[in-house]
Amino acid sequence: MKSSIPTGKSTEIFRELSENVGGEVRFDNYSRQMYSTDGSIYKIDPLGVVIPRNSDDVISVHEISSKNKTIITPRGGGTSLSGQTVNSGIVVDFSKYMNKIIEVCPEEKWVRAQPGITIDNLNRHLSSYGLFFTPDPSTSSRANIGGAMGNNSCGAHSILYGKTVDQVLEMEIILSNGSKILCSENSLNELKTKLSLQSFEGMIYKSVVDISTRA
C-alpha cells in the first residue's frame, strides 16, 4: 500500500522505497504525525514511515536510506519513555507484519521470533511449553521483543531472572549498508576470525574491540 506522493526533498526517497519495498510506505502528513510521538514527552516529525513485511523489505530500506544519507529508527509498540522511537528520518514499524514466532525448541529452551511480537503474545505461546521470556516491563502487552532487545528491558522480576541481555542467545542483524549478519557469543578464535574480515562487519568488530580496550 502506497500513500500519496510527497513533495520536496523526500520525493526521491519515497519513490525508491515504493518501488523496492513490498510493505507499506507512508509519507503522508497523517501517518507522519502518528509516528511523531511515543510514550515519552518528545515529538519529532519523521520524513516518512515504512512498515516492512519481511527482512528483504528491511534490507531495501537500509540500502536506500544509506544511499540518501537518511537516518533510520526501528519501532515496535512505541512504549519508550525516553524518545528512542522518534526521529526526523525514516521510522520502520515492525509491529504490524513482522510479529511471528519462527521456531521453538522446548528441549533446549529457546525460541526464534521476529522483532515485532509483543512480550505478552510471545509468553502466551511459550506457556504451553512451560517456558517464558523473563523480562516483564509494565508495558509488556504492547512492548515488542525488538524494542526490549534494543533497550535491554527489564522488569519487576529482573533481580531474579536478569535483563533482556541475559536472555539473548543470538541475533540476526541487518547493518546500515543492508548486509545481514548473525551475532552471538564468540570464542576467542571466533573473535579473531571476525576481526580479520575485510567487510563492514569486520570493521564493526574492530571498532568495538578498540573502544573496549580504551574504556
**Domain termination site, one of 70, 93, 116:** 93
* Residue 18 confidence (pLDDT): 97
Contact 125, 105 (CB under 8 A): no
CA distances from 106 to 101, 110, 112, 128, 152 (A): 13, 7, 11, 10, 24
Report the SS3 class of residue 9.
helix
Show which of 93, 126, 156 is a domain's final residue.
Answer: 93
Q: Are residues 39 and 65 in the same domain?
A: yes
Examine residue 127 and state whether it is found in any structural domain, yes or no. Answer: yes
In angstroms, the CA 36 to CA 196 distance is 41
Structural domain of residue 23, as residue ranges? Answer: 8-93
| Statement to judge: residues 57 and 123 lie in one domain | no
192 and 158 in one domain? no
Residue 2 inside a domain? The answer is no
Judged against a pLDDT cut of 60, whether residue 2 lies above it is answered with no
Same domain, 152 and 188: no
**Domain check: are 207 and 149 in the same one?**
no
Could you read off the pLDDT of 150-198 as tens digits, one per residue? 999 999 999 999 999 999 999 999 999 999 999 999 999 999 999 999 9
Query: Using CA atoms, how far apart are residues 132 and 108, in angstroms rounded to an integer?
Result: 13
Distance CA 48, CA 21 (A): 13
Instruction: Please say which residue of 93, 110, 140 terminates a domain.
Output: 93
Q: How confident is the model at residue 8 (pLDDT cuts 50, 70, 90)?
A: low
pLDDT in tens, 95-109: 999 999 999 999 999
Question: What pLDDT, in 10s, does the model give residues 49-71?
Answer: 999 999 999 999 999 999 999 99
CATH number of the domain residue 65 falls in = 3.30.43.10
Q: Please check whether residues 109 and 150 belong to one and the same domain.
A: yes
Distance from chain centroid for Cα 124: 22
Q: Are residues 61 and 109 in the same domain?
A: no
142 and 156 in a common domain: yes
Same domain, residue pair 41 and 88? yes
Looking up cell 523489505 gives: 57
Greatest Cα pair distance in the chain: 55
> 164 burial class (0-12, 13-18, 19+ CB within 10 angstroms)?
buried
